[in-house]
Structure 1
Amino acid sequence: MDADDKIAVGLEGVYVAKSSICKVDGINGKLYYRGYAIEDIAKNSSFEEVCYLLLNGKLPKLAEFEEFKKALYAERDLPEEIVGIISELVGKASPMDILRTAFSALSGFDEKLNDNTEQANMEKSLKIISRISSISAAIGRLESKAQYVKPDKSLSHSQNFLYMLNGKKPEQEKADLLDLMMMLHAEHSSNASTFSTLVTGSTLADIYAAVTSGISTLKGPLHGGADEAALKMMDAIGSPENTERYIDEALAGKQRIMGFGHRVYKTYDPRAKIIRGHLIEIQEHADGKVKNLTGIALAAEKMMVEKLGETKGIWPNVDFFSGPIYAYLGVPGNLFTPLFAASRAPGWCAHMIEYWRNNKLFRPLEYYEGEIDKQYLSIDKR
């Protein structure tokens, strides 16, 4: 057996752990959180309830949910030093680099940092979910040269994000749409960022270190940065009328069409289906840039499905439609990935807590193909 037969490139097809958190059925285009279909979650739930479900493995009763929300909302405030870090780095580093640095620094303000009991990590998870959202909104706010807005603990999670970003309480329709987007991004099994979170945590590093790894991994355009890249492609297309020519030329040149194709889904991403329906609704009453973006997105989707969907199994994924939705919500393009991180935080935390119950240090093998027993020559004889 040669090396190519032994190596699963990119760990494709390799199971790394058992989990009861998420099921991704790539063949049939199905996604489940703790056994609940994503379509039912999107229609009936909220981001806060999804957080409870992912962390606790069940849907909450009313009293449990009210107590959970109260605890979650209570952790929104950012230490002055964290706001200072954000202020110092705005304009000097990318929003994802700022998020990574500011979030990592949060560990210094957690009195239970070195308490690795499950209860302590559940408490830390609430702080992480709340504060990563506050940091992301603060980055967007300060990037716009506006004054920092402190969180409002009377608002829902999505309402507070938009409030901190824009300085005013949002329309309920927009808060509900952001809530939906955050639910759809909250969890997705052992993707790259979740895996890197687990690798770091498997060393018994603290949960902040583990989630910092997840944030770093999410930065790349092949993972969390894909929605921003897809929006840039739409900007390059310019108008719905230019879509066909752009797509044809890109395919002829074998260029990657961002937002299409997925390592797991071999059919239409169920999250993209849900978002597409809302995109159609937005297009009916939007104007200006948003209407243009929705037109381009829907035209490109139609073309790609016809050309590559059934024939090559390349379908739209959640990243493709996210950009126009975020643009409609007033979220700037460079904040898409930090918002993704804020949405994925409950999934990262849930997986880390679950993995620690039967922890084993990740230590894969590497197939060496270099020379051995080479003669060492002193520097004057080389």
Structure 2
Amino acid sequence: MKNGLEDVVAAETSLSDVDGAAGRLIIKGKSLDELVGNTTYEDVAALLLNGMFDKPITALPLRAALGQARLAVFSHLAAVDDTLLALPPVDAMRALLARLPDGEDFATAVRLLAAPAVLLPGLLRLRNGHAPLAPNADHTQAQDILAMLTGTPPSAEQVAALDAYLVTISDHGLNASTFAARVIASTQAGLTSSVLAAISALKGPLHGGAPGPVLDMLDDIETPDAARAWIDSALDRGDRLMGFGHRVYRVRDPRADALKKALRPLVATGQVDVEKVALAEAVERAALEILKERKPDRPLDVNVEFYTALLLDVLGFPREAFTGVFAIGRTVGWIAHAREQALEGRLIRPRSLYVGPLPQAA
């Protein structure tokens, strides 16, 4: 028995491989470096889902199907009331997703891919006192998300940056939310149920709920010159340093570099606060130096959360919505894993080791 199932192999998958020692992520036979910047969300979604349903899936037909599904899902925003708006965005989004019918077919999958992309921007606009904006079926997923969020046509660099983010986080091995999706799928409950379970796992601060606090840290530090003293004080208090360290990666998280690279065109075209980027880079350098000094035997490097926070902030998402944006990108991985489990796996039913008291014999 290993606490937290550390190093326990619980499934065979053809979807993604996380090589923690080498700092490498493979998605369906392609390295992350090969995908980011060269493919769109639709490309990677088709890559992950092809073979999981009864017909071949390619990017262009999937893009058209997603456009129509976004239009259909938009009506569910009419159910939003004050109670939902008072919830954190990811909780409100989950509640609206629960309205969708369950199923195992391709139409259910496409609807679930489209729904978070429509519901989250709509909820954010309603929270700010604005009416939700209807989707445009001719847009790509990334383009439509940004247009529905801001009400203005996004730049090509902004669309490319969000595409890079959605591709980067599309799948990542058997993490907590993906495992939750596979557990539910193993009971034949349906794809909607699997996605709802995955979102419930994702919102935990030890999984997908940490990018927002990275910005809180940057706000507290304020200037590059203050980075080292702030980090030393935080570590002296025993605080967790947000955006650093990972359960699997023993070296740098490759997704961090992919997202840092995705920021460059926005910097080059003046669409990002250069001072904030400089602050983030100064904090990164100081943190890595200090962590190496204080914990020389424990490999701690930048993880995906660090540059996720900066990228999503630049694109106009409020920090309380970052987990919901993560869900938009990861839903395709959850669905692919749920289908893989349903097609090839068994009911997941591990055993437990009882360590409680025993009844006394008469």
Letter in 2 for 1:43: G
Which residue does the alignment assign to 1:302? 285
Which residue does the alignment assign to 2:142? 158
Task: After TM superposition, list the pairs within 5 Å mapping 1:22-101 onto structure 2.
Answer: 22-56=16-50, 64-79=58-73, 82-101=76-95
User: Does the C-alpha gap of structure 1 residues 373 and 333 become closer, same or farther in structure 2, counting only changes over 3 Å?
Assistant: same
Any gaps of 5 or more consecutive residues in structure 2?
A: none
**TM-aligned CA deviation for residue 23 of structure 1:** 0.9
2:70 is paired with a residue of what secondary structure? Answer: coil
Percent identity for Structure 1 against Structure 2: 31
Which residue does the alignment assign to 2:357? 371
Any gaps of 5 or more consecutive residues in structure 1?
A: 1-6, 108-112, 377-382
**TM-aligned CA deviation for residue 283 of structure 1:** 5.0
Which residue does the alignment assign to 1:264? 248
- Bigger CA drift: 292-301 or 16-25? 292-301
2:247 is paired with a residue of what secondary structure? Answer: coil
Task: Specify the structure having the higher radius of gyration (Cα).
Answer: 1
Q: Is the 8 A contact 2:256 2:304 kept in 1?
A: yes
User: Does the C-alpha gap of structure 1 residues 329 and 313 become closer, same or farther in structure 2, counting only changes over 3 Å?
Assistant: same
Q: CA RMSD in A?
A: 2.2
Q: Is the 8 A contact 1:244 1:300 kept in 2?
A: yes
Task: Determine the C-alpha separation between the residues in 2 that align with 1:242 and 1:64.
Answer: 49
Q: Report whether the alignment pairs 1:17 with 2:3.
A: no
**TM-aligned CA deviation for residue 64 of structure 1:** 4.0
Q: Is the 8 A contact 1:269 1:317 kept in 2?
A: yes
User: Deviation per CA, 1:266-288, whole angstroms, max 9, x where unpaired?
Assistant: 00111101222344554566588
Q: Report whether the alignment pairs 1:330 with 2:316.
A: yes
User: Does the C-alpha gap of structure 1 residues 93 and 372 become closer, same or farther in structure 2, counting only changes over 3 Å?
Assistant: same
Which residue does the alignment assign to 2:304? 318
Letter in 2 for 1:101: A
**TM-aligned CA deviation for residue 374 of structure 1:** 5.7
User: Does the C-alpha gap of structure 1 residues 239 and 85 become closer, same or farther in structure 2, counting only changes over 3 Å?
Assistant: farther
**TM-aligned CA deviation for residue 183 of structure 1:** 0.7
User: Deviation per CA, 1:247-269, whole angstroms, max 9, x where unpaired?
Assistant: 11112222110111111110011
User: Does the C-alpha gap of structure 1 residues 204 and 57 become closer, same or farther in structure 2, counting only changes over 3 Å?
Assistant: closer
**TM-aligned CA deviation for residue 291 of structure 1:** 3.5
Task: Determine the C-alpha separation between the residues in 2 that align with 1:81 and 1:42.
Answer: 33
1:32 is paired with a residue of what secondary structure? Answer: strand
- Choose from 124, 148, 163 the match for 2:108: 124
1:106 is paired with a residue of what secondary structure? Answer: coil
**TM-aligned CA deviation for residue 244 of structure 1:** 1.2
Which residue does the alignment assign to 2:327? 341
- Choose from 195, 217, 237 the match for 2:221: 237
Task: Determine the C-alpha separation between the residues in 1 that align with 2:199 and 2:72.
Answer: 18
User: Deviation per CA, 1:270-317, whole angstroms, max 9, x where unpaired?
Assistant: 1101222344554566588x4343223211211222233593210001
Q: Is the 8 A contact 1:34 1:57 kept in 2?
A: no
Letter in 1 for 2:358: I
User: Does the C-alpha gap of structure 1 residues 23 and 208 become closer, same or farther in structure 2, counting only changes over 3 Å?
Assistant: same
Q: Is the 8 A contact 1:75 1:126 kept in 2?
A: yes
Task: After TM superposition, list the pairs within 5 Å mapping 1:220-299 onto structure 2.
Answer: 220-279=204-263, 282-283=266-267, 290-299=273-282
Letter in 2 for 1:134: V
Letter in 2 for 1:269: D
Task: Determine the C-alpha separation between the residues in 2 that align with 1:66 and 1:301.
Answer: 39
Task: Determine the C-alpha separation between the residues in 2 that align with 1:215 and 1:281.
Answer: 31
- Bigger CA drift: 299-308 or 267-276? 299-308
- TM-score, normalising length from structure 2? 0.92
- TM-score, normalising length from structure 1? 0.87
Which residue does the alignment assign to 2:164? 180
Task: Determine the C-alpha separation between the residues in 2 that align with 1:8 and 1:179.
Answer: 37
Which residue does the alignment assign to 1:359? 345
Q: Is the 8 A contact 1:21 1:57 kept in 2?
A: no
User: Deviation per CA, 1:49-101, whole angstroms, max 9, x where unpaired?
Assistant: 0000010169xxxx943222211211102456621333444541111110111
